[in-house]
Amino acid sequence: MSRHPVKNAEPQTSSRPEKTRNTLDAIERFVAVGMFVMGMLQMLAFRFSTEIRVQAHCWLRTPCGEIPSPFVTKTALARLIRANLLGFGKDLISHFIRQKRNNSEISKDFREVA
């Protein structure tokens, strides 16, 4: 069977229409989410252009215009989120370690009293 269209040929129907519909819905959602993310990146670039240039730390062959590109905005946002998550994780782990150490010292004091 040829992949090239034939004039006046009947359109083929899917043998599994529900699976075809699910696939098309997934593609539409993927495109919609991509458009939403691209719009958010452009809005952030427009609103916080100087902050983004400072946070991006990426080398570009050509200098950015007045508004950074979505790539530069994504890079700056990723660096900022990564730095915040790493800082949060260190503080959280330190908190658990201190809490465990304090609990063991309290239980040690109770054992000595008993």
Q: What is the pLDDT of residues 34-43, one digit of tens each?
A: 999 999 999 9
Are the C-beta atoms of 58 and 72 separated by less than 8 Å? yes
- C-alpha to C-alpha distance for 47 and 45, rounded to whole angstroms: 6
Which one has a higher pLDDT value, 28 or 86? 28
pLDDT of 113 strictly over 60: no
* Closest to 92 (Cα-Cα) out of 76, 77, 100: 100
Q: Each residue of 58-111: pLDDT tens digit? A: 766 667 678 888 888 998 898 888 887 776 666 777 777 778 877 766 555 555
pLDDT of 44 strictly over 80: yes
